[in-house]
A and B are shown apart, each in its own frame.
Chain A
């Protein structure tokens, strides 16, 4: 067989490292290149890890991820809100100070520059959290399209080590390390507090796992980053915490139907096709992409993103063809994988709208064979409501 995933002990040139890179290697993580970054895909079975165990820890306990490859753009000043409103499809005027929202930067065609989280940190201060692979593109886009506004733009991506603590026990774990009252922070809100002796740390109740949890933003020097990482693991021992890599991050977000740039969303997919209507506020003042989206809506939707569950034996993978029941090619898989918590083989795929009805039987072409799959509701997984 071919072992393409083996981790070289020397980081290839021109590949970027987070401040926790040495920690990951010391812990025995399998490293891969992801969007130009040398990142852990999974930690070793010898410490209770591996994608399945890491995934299950997040669904049932708590897991910790280094997500420092994510980027950060700060907009501040008198017209910061107007600038954010112009480039972001969600309505930032609805944000109270300390509140966050999922949104996207769009091209004039109504397709995606990137998906983002907009945090309102102060009266006229916003923080956009952006994807690793699109950092430079996003920053240029934001800079070029906000010149007319009176606000200051800063690219803070390298200033933070971003760590995600995710799972039903995430709040209990993190509360051991901070004086901030975490249970008072609602989902998609942020607070600040002292964490592991570091003052005024931004703590956001956000994540990419379809689970409860926090993402924290600490200084990006290696010593501080490593110290906090190990303190989190130590504090989480009673909760069975495990470090988690990009492998589990992908299966977790897939179960939760959370889009991944370059897969479900891209510069050729528009908002309606991606099914992100509820984050796109057509009634707010004009924003880049709005006119095209209005036209697209009037023209009607040709293809749409659906959830698929494999009926017959086989795993749909990214890029596989989707066929109708008669074997004619009609679409493609954007993300597909075994779902460790659901114990099913699931996928997201673009298909013509007339084939998108729940219960419709389709085929996924796997190594030349059409393997039966069914259209099912997405998200595949919803976290249980707290009682």
Chain B
């Protein structure tokens, strides 16, 4: 599965672009199934690395969204409130929040597309 190389990934299946847009991966949306609800923080909220910043719900399950890095929320994708299924259709094109990172260098420690691909292949047991 090709993962875009213009961003970094976490083992919790989030991605973050260099300009601070955050979403979940294709692997994550596929594992969740039909997404019916996305709960996101308000603009101005401080998010902290590894801590929950929101929730995504599919028909069958509730999952926390974990911050890939620390920062302050500058924008929220309001379209997902009424069309959460967009995440199923285009996970890598559906950003959830945008942040101003607290420390821009924090992203360097995250997974590259190739490393993430390898990680999910192992997680899926292939």
Contact = CB atoms under 8 A, between A and B. Distances in A.
Interface of A: 1-10, 30, 41-42, 45, 50-52, 247, 250-251, 313-315, 317, 337-338, 340, 367
Given A1-B64, A9-B126, A30 B12 contact: no
Given A9-B126, A51-B33, A315-B36, A3 B27 contact: yes
B56 to A, nearest CB: 6
Q: Which of B34, B57, B63 has the most CB atoms of chain A within a 10 A radius of its CB?
A: B34
A1 B24 contact: yes
Contacts of A7: 124
Given A45-B88, A51-B59, A251-B59, A9 B125 contact: yes
Contacts of B28: 1, 3
B88 A315 contact: no
A3 B59 contact: no
Interface residues of B, number: 31
Contact of A1 (B33, B36, B56): B56
B63 A2 contact: yes
B123 interface: yes
A253 B34 CA distance: 18
A7 to B, nearest CB: 8
Interface of B: 12-14, 24, 27-28, 30-34, 36-37, 39, 55-66, 88, 123-126
A5 B36 contact: no
Given A1-B66, A3-B13, A9-B126, A337 B34 contact: no
Contacts of A10: 125
Contacts of A8: 124-125
B34 A1 contact: no
Nearest to A7: B124
Given A3-B63, A6-B124, A52 B57 contact: no
Given A10-B125, A45-B88, A1 B65 contact: yes
